């Protein structure tokens, strides 16, 4: 693994595997946490058919660009924006079921080796949001096999899919897989995403972003959203270095998780 201190700039890309795992919700949570931490960050929504990440952040101050990275012109536009804006972190939400296209685009532009570029010294972090099934694991495995130590990896267990009354973690398929062994050999970091109540999720859709959580009219939905953000940010800080979050926040967040146990 490279010296993180020598490659501080990050491109955090959501692995475009199975749809419906909670990928866009996690992207919104991550982007909120990074920006709230004071990090100079921009976002890209590469889903041309359903740009959910972009639709929640229409205000210019949020800097989320709807650009299709899967096209030649789109990928060049992303690179030009990085070069012009010089953010410390760029978050990219890729469309589901586009794994092969994404791999082709990354290789064509040699994006996984940007950390060696003097003008765009970005190290990639690939994030996979997992449900309890096998398809998402397979997509993540393919990415890790293709990229190896050219990138860093974060696995996010989405607690929405887990029946808390059943024994076990709920992610036994992932934990017992060869993919998990490969993940560990590549110094991957595993975290959880807490559940956001279904009714609150529907209430927020499609206009309210997390930056405006304190303005939610319903006190019940407001408190639920704030709890989700607090617990979610605490989990993100376990992988602070891979997300470009300030390292000094990590111990504070770990204490919060330990004290509440809410993420589990």
CATH of residue 195: 3.40.50.300
DSSP label at residue 210: G
Contact (CB, 8 A) for 30 and 37: no
Count up the domains in the chain and report the number. Answer: 1
DSSP label at residue 92: E
Q: d(Cα 17, Cα 135) in Å, to the nearest integer? A: 8
Q: d(Cα 157, Cα 141) in Å, to the nearest integer? A: 15
Is the Cα dihedral 203, 206, 207, 210 positive or negative?
positive
> What pLDDT shows up at residue 5?
44
In a domain, 173, yes or no: yes
In a domain, 101, yes or no: yes
Contact (CB, 8 A) for 194 and 231: yes
Contact (CB, 8 A) for 42 and 65: yes
Q: How many other C-beta atoms lie within 10 A of the C-beta of residue 185? A: 11
- According to DSSP, the residues that pair with 152 across neighbouring strands are 125
DSSP label at residue 205: T
In a domain, 112, yes or no: yes
Q: d(Cα 190, Cα 263) in Å, to the nearest integer? A: 13
Contact (CB, 8 A) for 226 and 194: no
Q: How many other C-beta atoms lie within 10 A of the C-beta of residue 259? A: 9
| Residues in the chain where the model's pLDDT stays below 70 | 1-7, 165, 248-264
> What pLDDT shows up at residue 104?
86
In a domain, 119, yes or no: yes
Q: Is the pTM of the predicted complex or chain greater than 0.75? A: yes
Please enumerate, as own/partner, the contacts of 72-78 that have beta carbons within 8 Å and a separation of 24 or more: 74/46, 75/105, 75/108, 75/109, 78/44
In three-state secondary structure terms, 2 is coil
> What pLDDT shows up at residue 180?
97
In a domain, 263, yes or no: no
> What pLDDT shows up at residue 31?
97
In three-state secondary structure terms, 243 is helix
In a domain, 61, yes or no: yes
Q: Which two tokens stand for residue 242?
A: 């891979």
Q: Which domain holds residue 202?
A: 7-258
In a domain, 111, yes or no: yes
Quick: pLDDT tens for 157-210. Answer: 999 998 776 777 889 999 999 999 999 999 999 999 999 999 999 998 777 889
Q: Which residue bears the tokens 């996010």?
A: 156
Q: d(Cα 197, Cα 226) in Å, to the nearest integer? A: 12
In a domain, 264, yes or no: no
Residue spans of alpha helices (H) in 13-129: 23-36, 52-55, 72-85, 99-108
Q: Which two tokens stand for residue 58?
A: 């229409």
What letters, b where the CB count within 10 A reaches 16 and e where it falls short, cover 191-228? bbbbbbeeebbebbeeebbbbebeebeeeebbebbebb
């Amino acid at each position: 693994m490279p010296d993180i201190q020598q490659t501080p700039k990050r491109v955090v890309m959501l692995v475009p595997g199975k749809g419906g795992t909670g990928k866009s919700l996690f992207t919104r949570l991550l982007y909120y946490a990074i920006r709230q931490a004071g990090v100079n960050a921009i976002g890209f929504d590469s889903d041309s058919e359903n740009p959910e990440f972009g639709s929640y952040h229409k205000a210019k101050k949020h800097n989320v660009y709807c650009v299709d990275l899967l096209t030649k012109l789109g990928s060049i536009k992303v690179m030009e924006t990085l070069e012009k804006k010089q953010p410390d972190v760029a978050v990219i939400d890729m469309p589901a079921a586009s794994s092969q296209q994404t791999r082709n685009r990354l290789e064509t532009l040699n994006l996984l080796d940007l950390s060696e570029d003097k003008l765009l010294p970005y190290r990639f972090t690939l994030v996979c949001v997992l449900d309890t099934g096998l398809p998402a694991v397979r997509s993540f495995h393919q990415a890790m096999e293709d990229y190896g130590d050219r990138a860093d990896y974060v696995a996010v267990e989405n607690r929405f899919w887990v029946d808390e009354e059943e024994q076990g973690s709920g992610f036994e398929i992932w934990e017992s897989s060869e993919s998990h062994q490969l993940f560990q050999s590549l110094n991957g970091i595993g975290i959880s995403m807490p559940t956001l109540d279904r009714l609150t999720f529907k209430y927020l859709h499609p206009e309210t972003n997390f930056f405006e959580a304190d303005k939610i009219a319903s006190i019940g939905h407001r408190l639920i959203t704030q709890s989700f953000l607090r617990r979610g940010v605490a989990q993100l800080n376990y992988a602070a270095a891979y997300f470009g979050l300030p390292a000094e926040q990590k111990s504070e967040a770990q204490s919060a998780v330990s004290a509440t146990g809410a993420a589990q």
